[in-house]
Amino acid sequence: METPPLDQEPLRVREAGSGKGVINALDKYVVWLSKIFYWVAGLGLIGMLVLVVADIIGIKVFSRPVPGGIEIVTFLAVVAAGFAMAYTAFMHGHVAVDFVVDKLPKRPKLVVSLITVLFSVGLMAVLSYYTFKYAGKLKTTGEVSMTQKIPFYPFVYGLAVCWVLTTLILIREFVRTIARAVKTWTP
């Protein structure tokens, strides 16, 4: 690793995260991937809509429902909810009850925010790990849906990947919150 020239001043705290680097590249790709996942979630939602409408028309007009329609809608619900999770975290779209935190001064707010995001990262990491384990178990046992015999494990693996991406989004938020805290505490 090359040392910077002695006559070059180090970056001030406010400029420290603004250049190119591993964190910024990771940040860009994680956000980009969360947007792609969000579109996949939208396609899952559209698929649910189309399937439910087709099922209703099939029942009412032809007296024949879509075979396995309910289980396919359930799988698509996993796609719709799971794949939207990371982008929702990125947009701060999850429900937050912060009427107490809003009354705090700026620094304690940052501390509470850091603790909350850190717990969220831990929870998502644990969810990722155990969801991957569960998907492996489902793959080993060969568990499938009742009507269409669709294997469960690909959807559970997909959900685990969604948890990993959400974890990365929350780590991104944690780093940004630390940067805000450093800017608040340094002159």
If one counts the domains in the chain, the total is 1
Residue 44, Cβ density class (10 Å: 0-12 exposed, 13-18 middle, ≥19 buried) = buried
- Is position 10 within any domain? no
Is the distance from CB of 139 to CB of 132 less than 8 angstroms? no
Question: For residue 5, what pLDDT is reported?
Answer: 52
Domain residue limits at 120: 21-185
Phi then psi dihedrals of residue 8, to 5 deg:
-85, 130
At 151, the pLDDT band (50, 70, 90 cuts) reads very high
- Is position 129 within any domain? yes
| Predicted confidence (pLDDT) at residue 7 exceeds the cutoff of 60 | no
At 16, the pLDDT band (50, 70, 90 cuts) reads very low
- Is position 138 within any domain? yes
- Is position 83 within any domain? yes
Is the distance from CB of 68 to CB of 147 less than 8 angstroms? yes
Question: For residue 61, what pLDDT is reported?
Answer: 94
Mean pLDDT (whole number) for 40-44: 97
Mean pLDDT (whole number) for 151-175: 95
Question: How high is the mean pLDDT of the chain?
Answer: 87
d(CA 69, CA 52): 7
At 111, the pLDDT band (50, 70, 90 cuts) reads confident
Percent of the chain at pLDDT > 90 equals 65
| Predicted confidence (pLDDT) at residue 8 exceeds the cutoff of 80 | no
Mean pLDDT (whole number) for 52-66: 94
Mean pLDDT (whole number) for 118-125: 96
Question: For residue 83, what pLDDT is reported?
Answer: 97
